[in-house]
Amino acid sequence: GAGVSQSPSNKVTEKGKDVELRCDPISGHTALYWYRQSLGQGLEFLIYFQGNSAPDKSGLPSDRFSAERTGGSVSTLTIQRTQQEDSAVYLCASSLGGGRSDTQYFGPGTRLTVL
């Protein structure tokens, strides 16, 4: 079946612009995660959605970052007023439930470059 998809695969933007990154999870998966992979910080958790519950935003690095998940499916990560330190690969993952032992399936990522 279809895996997790993300778009765009690459995004180049200028400092100060807003960007939107999209994630389509595996159908039927109730849990959705965003992570960031950068050279300096490795793989970091950003935000977690579970069903219709309020998202856990504790990993978002600043208030310029926000995310939503519509209809319990597609998610959008928005970065406002991008900075050069936001350059990274943004990964989305989904799992069947939100349990600690559930396998997370990752998308291919969106590579964001802020000039």
Partner 1 sequence: GNSVTQMEGPVTLSEEAFLTINCTYTATGYPSLFWYVQYPGEGLQLLLKATKADDKGSNKGFEATYRKETTSFHLEKGSVQVSDSAVYFCALSDRWSNQGGKLIFGQGTELSVKP
DSSP for 101-114 reads TSPPEE---EEEEE
Residue (of 10, 60, 54) closest to 34 by Cα position: 60
Residue 28 or 42 having the CB closest to partner 1: 42
Indicate whether 112 belongs to the interface with partner 1 (CB under 8 A).
Answer: no
Footprint on residues 45-84 left by partner 1 (CB under 8 A): 45, 48, 50, 56, 58-59
Q: Characterise 75 by phi-psi region: left (phi > 0), alpha (psi -120 to 50), beta (else).
A: beta
Give the one residue of 60, 67, 79, 107 binding partner 1; rule: CB under 8 A. 107
Footprint on residues 27-46 left by partner 1 (CB under 8 A): 31, 33, 35, 42-45
Footprint on residues 85-104 left by partner 1 (CB under 8 A): 91, 93, 95, 98-104
Enumerate binding residues for partner 1 (CB under 8 A): 31, 33, 35, 42-45, 48, 50, 56, 58-59, 91, 93, 95, 98-109
